[in-house]
Structure 1
Amino acid sequence: MLVSRVNSLLARVHRTARNQNLFRSVTHTAQRYTSKPTTRTSEELINFKPVYKLPYIVHARVLCKLKLYQTAVVLCLTGASVATQAELFIPLTICTVSLTMLGIMGEFFRKLIGIMYVNPTTDEVKIAHLNFWGNRKEMIRPINDIVPPSDIGENISDAFVKFTFVEKSTPNLYLSVKYGHILDKHLFQRVVGEL
């Protein structure tokens, strides 16, 4: 009797949850900046063609990770120095400089575009960049949502060009055509405009 009541209660909860969309699937981090959740088939993801690659993004990732480890070591040593009541000025200065550099480097590498893909059939761009911790992060945006750098007064031949979006909630990124490699010039020009 009790088992049948529990089963009927579970079935009712499951029907209610399914009807109210309470159990939503977790979307990929590439969908984070989109305003509406979309489901993508594997064919749509395969159709993305690489158009730009920054070969130094691997070095940037290593530097970002090393800076994290260095900051952790400096914080531990500063804590040990404070606990032993030794000279405090030098360890606190080193700790402050290390935390400042971590913030600056983390912010710069977080906005640096490593790889850009374009899906010509859906007119979407997949942008891979690093997050603060040095891990890869992707986002997919429509080509129409990208403001060409020439429209905001940027010179595409500069070392780093601001890469902005129409939707202001999406953070600005930085693109380096000078140090990066354009793999497909035609598709790349569809994204950034004339070179």
Structure 2
Amino acid sequence: MSVIRGNSLLALVHRTARNQTLFRHVTHTAQYSTSQPTTRTSEELKNFKPVYKLPYIVHARVLCRLKLYQTAVVLCLTGASVATQADLFFPLTVCTVSLTMLSIMGEFFRKLIGILYVNPATDEVRIAHLNFWGNRKEIIRSINDIVPPSDIGENISDAFVKLKFVDKSTPNLYLSVKYGRILDKDLFQRVIGEDMNRQ
């Protein structure tokens, strides 16, 4: 009888320990999912007010797309030249230059900020920029996650200013106050952490 009670007690202890582990896992997952929301409803996105716009972002998108098409054409022509000619130096040189320019332009354009939105109620910034293929991409970060340009030695009056984030997983982006339009000065100052009246 004591053996049966001992086995029952042991089974109860194992079951309780397993349930506590499962409970801790579920609680941790719920906390993680609520702290980092991945999707926003259209109603939530309406609360973001545009504070900065780069008018030339459309031109940058067109250039980015043209570079992709040009690279595809050059690769096809290079393949045809390699198949039909003995001299490979010229077609391979043209192909290498084209691929190098594509990677440089793609890297720059994907970090170029087109529009900044701010939600004054939540102190969040919605940043629209291009990806490698020239399509629009958006990220949402807290204003507190943005390092002021002056703290990293950037001058806001330069042609392009680096926007750095506290979270190292977010890549640096580039902002152009010189060529862009500030739509709301006060909210823009909150984002970059500088007094625009001194510029």
- Give the TM-score taking structure 2 as reference length: 0.79
Runs of at least 5 residues in structure 1 that lack an aligned partner in the other structure: 1-19, 22-33
Tell me the CA shift for residue 39 of structure 1: 4.8
* Paired residues for 1:127-142 under 5 Å: 127-142=127-142
Structure showing greater relative contact order (alpha-carbon pairs closer than 8 Å, 6 or more residues apart)? 1
Report Cα offsets for 1:8-59 as digits up to 9, x if no partner: xxxxxxxxxxxx99xxxxxxxxxxxx97235534332101000000000000
Aligned length: 164
Cα RMSD of the aligned pairs, angstroms, is 1.8
Identity fraction in percent: 87
Aligned to 1:178: 178
Aligned to 1:146: 146
Aligned to 1:121: 121
Aligned to 1:85: 85
Tell me the CA shift for residue 151 of structure 1: 1.1
Aligned to 1:47: 47
**Amino acid aligned to 2:172:** N
Aligned to 2:56: 56
Bigger Rg, which one: 2
3-state SS of the aligned residue for 2:141?
A: strand
Moved more, 177-186 or 84-93: 84-93
- Counterpart-to-counterpart distance in 1, 2:36 and 2:111: 23
**Amino acid aligned to 1:172:** N
- Give the TM-score taking structure 1 as reference length: 0.80
Runs of at least 5 residues in structure 2 that lack an aligned partner in the other structure: 1-24, 27-33
Runs of 4+ in 1 over 6 A off after TM superposition: none
- Counterpart-to-counterpart distance in 2, 1:35 and 1:75: 45
Q: Which structure: greater helix fraction?
A: 2
**Amino acid aligned to 2:147:** V
- Counterpart-to-counterpart distance in 1, 2:35 and 2:83: 49
Alignment partner of 1:72 is 2:72: yes
- 1:179–1:37 Cα change, 3 Å: same
